[in-house]
Amino acid sequence: MIEVKLHDVGEGMTEGEIAHYLVQVGDHVTTDQPVVEVATDKMVAELPAPVSGIVKEIIIPVGQTVQVGTTLLHIEASNASEVSRVSEPAPVAVAAPPAQASPSKRVLATPYTRKIARDHGIDIESITASDPSGRVSEDDVLRFVNAAVAPQETVPSIVEEEVTQQQTPPETIPFRGIRKQIAKKMTQSLYTIPHVTHFEEVDMTRLLALRAEWKTAGRNININAFFIKALIVALKDYPVFHAKLDEANECIRLEQDFHFGMATETPDGLMVPVIRHADRLSLTELHDQLISLQQRAQNGALRAADLKPSTFTMSNVGPLGSTGATPIINYPETALIAFHKTKKRACVDEDDQIVVRSMMNLSMSFDHRVADGATAVAFTNRFVSLIEHPTTLLLELI
């Protein structure tokens, strides 16, 4: 009998949620046929069958989160040679054994989970783990907190009972897979990082005119490519926003490689595909990568390599019609910038004349532990200057 185990499908993956089984008990599968979908905090990955044979048992139910190395299902191989091939020992992560009661109880939990418990003044040893392994999760802590602050039950009145009986049960949407992983990521960011959001406006008139001129000449460049180039220049001048805070070693690590995360809305939820080494790419190369990543994201075809960790994240929600927002930082980065709708407005120029300009709002959230408001204003001023005077940006690219 061959065990199909959860293995690492990304960089540093330690656990995954069973999103969907593609087979049932009794089905015949072939080698490398996808049998189960697993959701991580970044993607949904398919795990293939290691051998051809019959599915004999499905062990882990849909919706449960398990550690890497956990057996998900059993397949009875139809070929003895395949059994010997997959039976060779390979290094796998070993699931932690269930916690046993002892005088010196050691609760299994991540440092982030312990931090949430400490912030609420809760002894983590008093929390019952929902995971069979005995590991206390963030959900367990938050569930314990909500139970502690819930109001005492009161005896309902006759009128309340009648209203309750007449209510129609609400519809439900499954809270699992990528949506659940997004929620965990957002909660981690907000619990850990003190967010401050700075707002600014940008005159896009000259850049849009330059882009239109290039388009007429047959060189259509995605507007995000210009934004990335301007951000790289500004980040080199203000590297504190291109960094990660290392509290354990009491230092701020300034990133040297420019890997840009592109917050992208997909049918499965928010994804952040990454353009790696963006500072080494031309405007045309950036345009090609942006279009390719967007298409793969919309078609659910993102690869693990597309979702490697980024060093700075940007979001362009302008095409959706947004005029402003307070974006959540992509932890553990120190800043995230969002671009909103470009709209023609009546403005007063340097000669006190009323002119029509194409104006865009931007919002930048940053980690207040790492940087201050004045630095954030200086950073966005540098970016705005490059966008409003694109010939200056071109000089920076030489």
Phi, psi torsion values for 82, nearest 5 degrees? -70, -35
Contact 45, 178 (CB under 8 A): no
Q: Alpha carbon of 240 to those of 236, 248, 365: distances in Å?
A: 9, 18, 13
Q: Which of 142, 226, 140 is nearest to 190 (CA)?
A: 142
Count Cβ atoms below 10 Å from residue 87 Cβ, excluding itself.
13
Tokens standing for residue 242: 């291109």
Angle between helices 390-397 and 205-216 (to 10 degrees): 70
Please state, in angstroms and rounded to a whole number, the distance separating the CA atoms of residues 227 and 98: 50
Residue type, 220: N
Tokens standing for residue 241: 């926003």
Tokens standing for residue 396: 């920076």
Please state, in angstroms and rounded to a whole number, the distance separating the CA atoms of residues 348 and 178: 47
The continuous run of DSSP H or E covering 261 comes out as strand 260-262
Q: Given 198, 259, 368, 389, which residue is catalytic?
A: 368
Q: Is 368 a catalytic residue?
A: yes
Q: Alpha carbon of 89 to those of 2, 50, 137: distances in Å?
A: 13, 14, 31
Please state, in angstroms and rounded to a whole number, the distance separating the CA atoms of residues 227 and 362: 11
Please state, in angstroms and rounded to a whole number, the distance separating the CA atoms of residues 258 and 275: 8
Tokens standing for residue 22: 């593609």
Q: What is the dihedral of CA 308, 313, 319, 322, to 10 degrees?
A: 130
3-state DSSP assignment of residue 303 = coil
Strands (E), 234-320: 243-246, 251-254, 260-262, 264-266, 269-271, 274-275, 312-316
Q: Which residues are catalytic?
A: 368
